[in-house]
Structure 1
Amino acid sequence: MMRTSPTRLSRSPCPRRRAGRCSRGVRMRFRRPQWASRRQRLGSLEFESARVPTPGTDRTWRVTAASVPGTSHVDSGRGCDDAFAYMVAPDGHGVVIAVADGAGSRSGTSALGSFAACRAVVAEASALLVAAGSEASAEPVLRRCFATARAAVESYAGQHGLQVRDLATTLAVAVLTPESSVVAQVGDGIVVCEVDAQAESLVPEEKGEYANETVFLTASDALEEHLRVRFLEKPIARFALSTDGLRYKILRLQDGGVPFDPFFDAIWQAVAEGSLSPAALSEWLAALDDQTGDDKTLVAGTLVDGPFADSTLPAALASPVPPVPPSSSVAPLPPAPPLHAMPAPASESAP
């Protein structure tokens, strides 16, 4: 992501191109869901995936995710500054998702910030899933989670003699349960959920004087002035979280940034049919002409009906630990703990 300051984003506007074609000639044919179909093609790619294992339930979460570096990062030899993490509850009835976008102006160290922020969120998954059941508890606990994520970024920066702005990152979080849902973000991430059978962009970024600016989690006023939270007293069965590198492909910007329905219908269908593995999603994202040169991240999930099936897809997944630049004195992040080992939500109400 191209950044001009540690807390603000600025980029040159990119002209829209015809949606549906990428730089490598992959043509995407978007169709409405054909739930009777057993296989799905997204462009010229055909995928294989499997259901998140949730024994003993008739309705289970199926989730896939991937991050890839943008073309501008690849051309300049930089890595991916995006990060993601998600965790499906052990009972299969809830899911916590985090997506973060490190500042491109701090490429090489901001990736550490985005990874640390996402890891801090999923570490709070148990409390988040309990709190999401009530509007009274959802926002306070989610705000505490964002504060914890920022503290994790600040702590890592301090341990290694870095400025907090070196680890600048956005952060978007969604917590979905059978009864209700809550989403929140600081920055310009994209959170789309199907609400009342309609794809809706939740907590969109509020644009200020300059349309291409954004605020990072590490900004001094991020939590007080720029954290946007929305509670929905209803279940959500399909979701997608993305960084802004995909905005020209998945939003109708000329209509105010509403979701581009054919994209989400195709993605959700592919996930529901078990035809979009993380590896295949990575391949497709890498081939997609995003028109920005920015990193691209997508986490998509849907509830599916039917009996439990064996799965090769874990109930939790996170983007890999980012490498530390050779010229940096920063020590590598320790390996992330296995996400599947996280405890189930407590039965009592969250504080």
Structure 2
Amino acid sequence: MAKKKQKLWVVVGDSVMGLNHVKNNIPCQDSHLYEEMENGWGIAIVADGAGSADYSHQGSQFVVKEGMSLFKKIVTENKWTTSKKLPEQAKWHKLAKTNLKQLRNMLAKEAEQTKKELGQLASTIMVAIFSPLGILCTHIGDGRGGYSNSEGEWKPLFTPWKGEYANETIFLTSDIWADKEVDKFVESKVINEKPFAFTLMSDGLEMHSFECSVWDEKEEKYYDPNRPYQKFFNPVVNGLVQMKQSRMTDDEIKGKWNKFLREGNEKIKNEPDDKTMIIGAYFPNGTS
């Protein structure tokens, strides 16, 4: 009998329709995908389709599916799963940016083949490559990402791109790739802290789980500290760990997670926007 592969992470994620989409019969424009590889490495991707784009739900689905293939190829070709250290920042940023540009070109080809305008498939993208050594992340647009180090301190993975006006952001499909200042729009980071947990989410959940708007008395204006709420994430992660330790199946855990995203509390339940969150916790001794 073949030995079952040991998993070093427990990861769960889902995408559910927001209240406005339910009321107006609009498809969920969020998509997500996550996959664990060998030696405790894995990839998580979240994409949020533009609310103003007719086929953005198809765009976000394409982005997570094809994005997963591209980023898995990077990990495999560079043999990171057997390496003792993470890549340098410059190398990771170059690889991530090349991948994202290729993904954008693939989406443009998909638009052409399906006789759609590229802008009709507009979507953001957030990627986290997680490992026992640390996390590699990259993103275009808004949404949030965070991680907890071994001391239990929650920190942001990246800074969401916000425009001058409310709900303004950029997308993978935006006209940024010919710009000499493309690095203003594509952010990549190497997190060289051993993680205990991580999260990626669309902006439909940010107000419920991050400090996003705090009044600055001195400047007399609101600012965004981009801080994950420990009081939100610690119970969620502890609950996830306990469910795994109690031998719940992945499907059972996913069912609980779906219910939480739909009706976890009154604010989450009544959120008008689509809601996606992936969360993972590290098991140093592994699970079966």
1:137 counterpart (91, 99, 119): 91
Aligned amino acid, residue 173 of structure 2: T
Aligned to 1:18: none
Give CA deviations for 1:86-137 in whole Å, capped at 9, x if unaligned.
Answer: 110133x111111000011124x10111111111221021413647621143
Q: Distance in 1 between matches of 2:73 and 2:31?
A: 21
> Conserved in 2, the CA contact under 8 Å of 1:97 and 1:173?
yes
2:158 to 191, 203, 221: 203
Q: Structure 1 residue 240: deviation in Å?
A: 0.6
Is the CA contact 2:142–2:162 (under 8 Å) kept in the aligned structure 1? no
Q: Could you give the per-residue CA deviations for residues 167-214 of structure 1, whole angstroms, max 9, x where no partner exists?
A: 000000011223332111111111011145311112112434224311
Q: Contact 1:128–1:142 (CA<8 Å) still a contact in 2?
A: no
Contact 1:131 1:137 in 2 (8 A): no
Q: Aligned partner of 1:303: which letter? A: Y
The residue number in structure 2 matching 1:282 is 258
The answer to whether residue 170 in structure 2 is matched with residue 215 in structure 1 is: yes
Q: 2:283 aligns with which of 293, 304, 307?
A: 304
Q: How does 1:47-196 map to 2 (within 5 A)?
A: 54-55=5-6, 60-91=8-39, 93-107=40-54, 109-124=55-70, 125-128=72-75, 130=78, 133-135=86-88, 136-195=90-149
Following TM superposition, by how much is the alpha carbon of 1:237 offset from its aligned partner in structure 2, in angstroms?
Answer: 2.5
| Divergent runs of 4+, >4 A | none
- Matches of 1:189 and 1:134 in 2, distance apart? 25
CA offsets, 1:279-310, max 9 Å, x none? 2211121114335400000100011143543x
How many Å apart are 1:252 and its aligned residue?
1.7
Matched residue SS, 2:98: helix
**In the alignment, which residue of structure 2 is the partner of 1:239?**
198
Match of 1:12 in 2: none
Mapped to 2, the partners of 1:308 and 1:299 lie a distance apart of 19
Per-residue CA distance 1:120-166 (angstroms, 9 max, x = gap):
22102141364762114322211122122212221111101100000
Unaligned runs of 5+ in 2: 81-85, 215-224, 245-251
- Structure with bigger strand share is 2
Name the counterpart of 2:242: 273
CA deviation string 1:304-324 (max 9, x = no partner): 143543xxxxxxxxxxxxxxx
The two structures, once aligned, show a CA RMSD in angstroms of 2.1
Give the TM-score normalised by the residue count of structure 2: 0.81
Distance (whole Å) between structure 2 residues aligned to residue 127 and residue 270 of structure 1: 32
Going from structure 1 to structure 2, the CA distance change for 1:293 and 1:146 (only over 3 Å counts) comes to: same
Residues 131, 113 of structure 1: alpha-carbon distance in 2 compared, 3 angstrom cutoff: farther
Determine which structure has the larger helix proportion and give its number: 2
Report if aligned partners of 2:143, 2:206 keep a CA contact under 8 Å in 1.
Answer: no
Structure 1 gaps, min length 5: 1-52, 310-351
1:253 is displaced (CA, Å) by 2.1
What is the distance in 1 between the residues matched to 2:79 and 2:117? 33
Query: Take 2:87 and 2:279, find their aligned partners in 1: how far apart are those partners?
Result: 24
Rounded Cα–Cα distance in structure 2 between residues aligned with 1:120 and 1:281:
25
Question: How many residue pairs are counted as aligned between the two chains?
Answer: 252
Structure 1 residues 306 and 180: alpha-carbon distance in aligned structure 2, compared to 1, 3 A threshold: closer
Q: 1-side partners of 2:277 and 2:199: how far apart? A: 7
Percent identity, aligned pairs only? 24
